[in-house]
Amino acid sequence: MSKVFVGLSGGVDSSVSAALLKEAGYDVTGVFIKVWTPPFFECTWKEDHLDAMRVCAELHIPFITLDLEKEYKKEVVDYMIAEYKKGRTPNPDVMCNQYVKFGGFYDFARSRGADFIATGHYARVASDATRELSIINYQLSNKLQIQNYKLKTGLDSSKDQSYFLWTLKQEQLSHILFPVGGLVKTEVRKLAKKFGLVTADKKDSQGLCFLGKIDMKDFLKNYIKPKAGQVLNERGEVVGNHNGAVFFTLGERHHFTVRTIKSQNNAERTRNDAERGEHENQKPYYVVAKDVKKNTITVSHDPKASIDGDSRKVFEIKGVNWIGRAPRSGARLLARIRYRQPLQKARFMIYDSRFKIHFDEAQSGGAPGQSIVLYDGEQCLGGGITS
């Protein structure tokens, strides 16, 4: 009987994952990962911990609490704050998966004899031998010692989390199970009720990995001092103000103030110009550029606007990880620049060991520090961080 440690978050997805594995005949142990929580925010970890314990009691499986506070604080929180201070926009959920769930937790489980770890991620694992690995035929593929494992998108496209998993490697995939990856959310809810799980009707958590719905700007203001700055339009005119360029990411449309536009070239505008300005201000503005040194952000009504030529079509990525083989230079692939974005057509290019993504269409977002993830159909190939 294969032994599997399931990362229980106290939510419905990981709860159903544990139930499905037990039903399939695995030796299941539930593990709640305790991470660092900010002292100035009220977090729900105690409630989640209790729900995870209840699930284990309902399933009659062992329960363990794993303390990864130091790892989370260093690799996720400290990294995130440092990146924002540099004017970059990090993705803490990617780091959480890399260093906590599939780092500290993975190592902990394997060191204690677990054949697999499992989580409630909406993603799938496949191999050349089995095409798509279910929780039942996974054992067969490992007996065959298959090395070519593939990460695929979750069946429920609205919940797919492969974007956050691009740092996984072959060795890890051979010991990872995603039991709900082949299900849609409504099926998961029905299974939770079938198994009698206390989490069946629990709302999905939102926001930062593990910490839940925390406003990022409110969080960062405890570590980065707000500094008043100017909001500019595409012509370089001052049209408003904000509390610090470091707090903004490209594509954002909130937390800054825009007043009626007045041209710097004319002391007075015509009545028609003024009316046009009032009408324009009713449209939403999006951040299309920021200058941390000057503490300015530039906004536009067009979220795809660029003040840097074709910089919104071509991106260089660093810190690249390939889950399997690296794609060849010139390959036509699909890519996404942010979570839940529809996959975009792009060409992958290599220039003197530098990796660049050439999108067919201009992209909003893609600020330095964010992840760009590459796909071949449903298969997640890997990704990197925008430079």
Catalytic residue among 43, 56, 96, 380: 96
256 with 179, same domain? no
Going by pLDDT thresholds of 50, 70 and 90, the confidence category of residue 43 is confident
Q: Does 374 share its domain with 255?
A: no
- The string of pLDDT tens digits covering residues 142-192 is 444 446 899 999 999 999 999 999 999 999 999 999 999 999 999 999 999
Confidence of residue 274 (pLDDT cuts 50, 70, 90): very low
Tokens describing residue 37: 């929580």
Structural domain range at position 120 = 3-194
Tokens of 199: 């989490």
Measuring CA to CA, how many Å separate 386 from each of 53, 325, 368?
40, 21, 5
Q: Do 357 and 372 form a contact (C-beta atoms < 8 A)?
A: yes
Strands 296-300 and 229-232: parallel
289: nearest Cα among 183, 370, 365, 376: 365
**Number of domains the chain is built from:** 3
Give me the CATH number covering residue 236: 2.30.30
Q: Cα separation of 249 and 299, whole Å?
A: 11
Which class for 317: exposed (0-12), middle (13-18), buried (19 or more C-beta within 10 A)?
buried
Q: Which residues contact 375 (CB under 8 A, 6 or more apart)?
A: 153, 162, 333, 334, 335, 336, 343, 381
Is the pLDDT confidence value at 268 over 90? no
Give dist(CA 109, CA 306) in Å, integer. Answer: 47
Query: Are 66 and 174 in a shared domain?
Result: yes
Assess if residue 216 is contained within a domain.
no
CATH number, position 321: 2.40.30.10
Active site includes 43?
no
> Per-residue pLDDT tens for 76-104?
999 999 999 988 889 999 999 999 999 99
The yes-or-no answer on residue 209 being catalytic is yes
| Residue finishing a domain among 146, 174, 194 | 194
What predicted TM-score, i.e. pTM, was given to this entire model?
0.85
